[in-house]
Structure 1
Amino acid sequence: MAVAAVTTKRKRTTARPTKTQPTTNAKLIKQPLPAGLPREWYETHNRRLKAMRLAIALLDTGIYHPANASNRRIRTAAERIGIHPPSETTCRMVRSLIHYAD
């Protein structure tokens, strides 16, 4: 019976930061995109990043429903945060991201 008491270990209550889990004051390390993929993959990837930035900006301003996110409002948010005006496709992506945040 004494063996069980010796072999039990105490669990950690806080997780140590790993490469995928940075600390709050650490900078994120940018890694290059994988090479050799079709051009459409890179365009879609960058479009998704842009849509995510715009959706976050709109949610921060209080727009929580896709019906309130018109193309004009999305393009105004893009101008405010300093990125190029999004295309029609990117605006649709932004609305779908806001829909999932609902």
Structure 2
Amino acid sequence: MPAAALKPKPLPTQSTAKRPVQLDLPYEPVPKRPLPAGRPREWYVTHNRRLKAMRLAIALLDSGVYLPSQARNERIRSAALAVGVHPPSDTTCHMVRALMRYSR
């Protein structure tokens, strides 16, 4: 018997299923913990910007935006409104596109 016949068939995804696959409801965020004390202010600004960019990148991927070229600043800012965070700066929008680029 060929080895390929012994492997279990993977579950269908949204793109390969014959009918829509029911997606799980959005997860509940992890409780926030205080950041470590004693670091320079710039470290905290950068850290929070990275967290915000990550949240926005995940929201865009969940909404069907998979390519950085599809994620214009306006689209990222509308995702921020949907997620419930303040509109990002141009720097944060650039960081969102960079995260999407390197996740591929």
What's the TM-score once normalised by structure 2's chain length?
A: 0.69
Query: Across the two proteins, how many residue pairs are aligned to each other?
Result: 76
* Superposition CA RMSD, Å: 1.3
Runs of 4+ residues over 6 Å off in structure 1: none
Aligned to 2:16: none
Distance, in Å, in 1 between the alignment partners of 2:30 and 2:79 is: 24
Distance, in Å, in 2 between the alignment partners of 1:28 and 1:86 is: 21
What's the TM-score once normalised by structure 1's chain length?
A: 0.70
Does 2:66 match 1:64? yes
Residue 76 of structure 1, aligned match among 75, 78, 92: 78
Aligned to 2:4: none
The one-letter amino acid paired with 1:45 is H
The one-letter amino acid paired with 1:96 is A
Q: If you compute each CA radius of gyration, which structure gives the higher value, 1 or 2?
A: 1
The one-letter amino acid paired with 2:70 is N
Residue 100 of structure 1, aligned match among 80, 86, 102: 102
The alpha-carbon distance between structure 1 residues 97 and 29, as it changes in their structure 2 partners (threshold 3 A), is same
The one-letter amino acid paired with 1:92 is H
Residue 32 of structure 1, aligned match among 34, 44, 56: 34
The alpha-carbon distance between structure 1 residues 37 and 77, as it changes in their structure 2 partners (threshold 3 A), is same
Distance, in Å, in 2 between the alignment partners of 1:57 and 1:74 is: 9
Distance, in Å, in 1 between the alignment partners of 2:73 and 2:32 is: 30
Distance, in Å, in 2 between the alignment partners of 1:29 and 1:59 is: 23
Percent same amino acid among aligned pairs?
67
